[in-house]
Amino acid sequence: MSQSSSTGSFDVASLVEDVNLRRVGQYALVVFFLGFFLVPLETGIMTAIKTNESVARSLPFAPPVGEGFTLGNIQFALEQLSGSFFNSLVMSIPATIGSVLFGSMAAYGLTMVNWRAQMGVLMLFVVGVFVPYQAVLVPLARFWNNIFPLARMIEPMVASIPFFQGYHAELVPLVITHIAYGIPICTILFRSYYQSLPNSLVEAGKIDGASITKIYRRIILPISKPMFGVVFIYQFTQIYNEFLFAFTLVTGSDAPAAPVTLVLPAIGASTSGIDFGIRMSAAFLAAIPTLILYVAFAEQFAKGLRTEA
């Protein structure tokens, strides 16, 4: 009897019990920050698909109505950016692969192989992380322009590759610079991961008769796949978004080899004023490759962060 009565009545008080000030505060905070991050994004997207007139007349975050909607901004921005997209990818993909691969190799050599003066070399890598960009700009420009003008030397060679023009040779020094600058941080990231791996794997490899390079290629490289995901995303974002080196070595937004970051500030700006619709469209288009990368590597990324922790 007592059982039926307890299940029959719906206990309203238990609902209220869960609601207390602390919980309310927590949810309020969550909602606030959700808005804080999402509203600017939404405003940007809305501006990108509005006509100039609509941008001027409606609230920034309001969606376009009727005549105010256009895809013209995006189309225009895409035309302006298409060449520099290609440049950016030609630059950042090899530079990322190079620095990540070399970083992993260096970390392997510095963590899992024993040799003298290891600590000294590692210190050089650590110092390399902290060398400020500004300090090397002038020497860098002089080196690639006067001392070792690699771009001019390989220009005819690059021009003969299908889909490439002679001016793409200007990106090669940039790629090499990015690789050199990326190796230290990649090495440090990989090192912390390799230190967490059991040493017995390498030792077992040695007993099995594998050489140092074979152990790297067949054992360490496959095991560090999740870490590659993390470092690859990090390094690609860094290089793709980088401005200073590109500006120094390629010079200016009107250069044919200019990557996206150089072209972006010039789009939609003219003597008659700033076209916000085109600017926003260009900004979103420029961000797409990094977004794609995050989505594509999301699983590896999460796995890598987990294993590192």
Nearer to another protein, 21 or 207 (CB): 207
Q: Is 207 a residue that touches another protein (CB under 8 A)? A: yes
The stretch near another protein (CB under 8 A) out of 208-216, 239-247, 256-264, 294-302 is: 208-216
Nearer to another protein, 162 or 209 (CB): 209
Nearest to 78 by CA among 243, 260, 294, 271: 260
Nearest-angstrom CA–CA distance, 157 and 152: 10
Q: Is 200 a residue that touches another protein (CB under 8 A)? A: yes
Nearer to another protein, 205 or 259 (CB): 205
Type of residue found at 134: Q
Q: Is 152 a residue that touches another protein (CB under 8 A)? A: no
**With CB under 8 A, what is the number of residues at the site for another protein?**
16
Q: Is 212 a residue that touches another protein (CB under 8 A)? A: no
* Residue 64 host element (H or E): none
The stretch near another protein (CB under 8 A) out of 10-18, 123-131, 160-168, 197-205 is: 197-205
Q: Is 119 a residue that touches another protein (CB under 8 A)? A: no
Cβ at position 107, least distance to another protein in Å: 18
Helix (H, G, I), strand (E, B) or coil at 246: helix
Nearest-angstrom CA–CA distance, 141 and 249: 6
Distances (CA, A) of 301 to 5, 140, 193, 216, 226: 53, 33, 14, 22, 7
Helix (H, G, I), strand (E, B) or coil at 39: helix
- The only residue of 152, 206, 265, 274 in contact with another protein, by rule CB under 8 A: 206
Instruction: Tell whether the torsion through CA atoms of 272, 278, 279 and 280 is positive or negative.
Output: positive
Interface residues with another protein (CB under 8 A) are: 198, 200-201, 203-210, 218-219, 222-223, 225
